Amino acid sequence: MNDASAPAVTHRRPILITGGAGFIGCNLADRLATEGHDVLVYDALSRAGVEGNLRWLRQRHPQRVSSVIADVRDGDALAKAAGECRAVFHFAAQVAVTTSLADPQEDFAINLQATVQLLEAMRRQGGGAPLIFASTNKVYGDLADVQLEKHDDAWLPQDAALRQSGIGEDRSLEFHTPYGCSKGAADQYVLDFARSFGLPAAVMRMSCIYGQRQMGTEDQGWVAHFLIRALHGEPISIFGDGCQVRDVLDVGDAVGAYMAALRRIDLVRGRAFNLGGGPSNAISLRQLIARIESLTGKRVATRHEEWRAGDQRYFVSDTRRATEALDLPAPRPWRDGVADLAQWLRVHGRAREAA
């Protein structure tokens, strides 16, 4: 249903962000509104803490940000919202591998079925509104064929070229876990609607995004989760050996990439890009913990659990295509970004809510 307390949408058609009260969505909404765009946030507010993100947006941009409080599976509400907007960023999703294993049908309905409903609504409406889809590095599977070797506290590819550049978009897709299947299939539907129906759409296959207003949990948002636990003096669960490597990207850089994709949609339509921090921001879980210990001056307690299904021992994005096509600057160094996030968490007291 429409949120009556939100300001009315102006005659300038807004930009729709599904999942717009979530971590990346609210940061994108803030940037768009700051630059003078009207924004329509579509969110079910089903995740603890996101109400705080929406309040924050309304306080900062009372004349720019409006909202629809509805589930992404509500096809009529979603189609109506999309029909009012001049562009769509589609972030709304079920985001945890563990949840997808517990309830594959709900994962399918949220991640794949709702995405197809959105695409079909935009196709039927016509008008050529662009759509940018938030996909995931999980579309590449567990990368079990990549030969790895351990260097200190990190798993790295034996192949020197792969170690230097990371995993590129030409890597074969391989969907593991229901989450990987639902997001991967949605990823392909977006690209095919661009190909088959001329929809101006692009896909961003994200690695690990972190930053302010992130609600980190064991299942998703591990950088913020580790910081929150450490700041409270609570132990961190490590699934596997802790040497698994990811490339991390500050949310400000991620937002910049999404905005560049919208600006350049005529050039990048029908394409998928890996979006992450790249090799210069590739870290293992153990390396992040060491950085947190240096920031807090305290030892971080850890406990080890079994590896989780579909977990990649190594994933680092080859970001060269995105950097060239979107004219992206060098990403923020991870040590600086993590330090700023730690300070933000201290100041805002977001240890339980992180809203």
**Residue 213 Cα distances to 30, 50, 99, 193, angstroms:** 12, 9, 22, 32
Pick from 295, 262, 280: which is nearest to 334 by CA?
280
Spacing of C-alpha 77 from chain mean position: 23
- Helix/strand/coil percentages in the chain, nearest 5: 45, 20, 35
Q: Is the dihedral of CA 88, 134, 20, 119 positive or negative?
A: positive
Rounded CA separation 209/206 (Å): 7
Active site residue 189: no
**Of 140, 179, 189, 314, which is the active-site residue?**
179
The answer to whether the CB of 331 falls within 8 A of the CB of 277 is: yes
Provide the residue type at 98 as one letter.
T
Token readout for 196 is: 């088959």
The C-alpha angle with vertex 329 and arms to 168 and 140, in degrees rounded to 5, equals 20
Rounded CA separation 257/332 (Å): 13
Q: Known catalytic residues?
A: 179
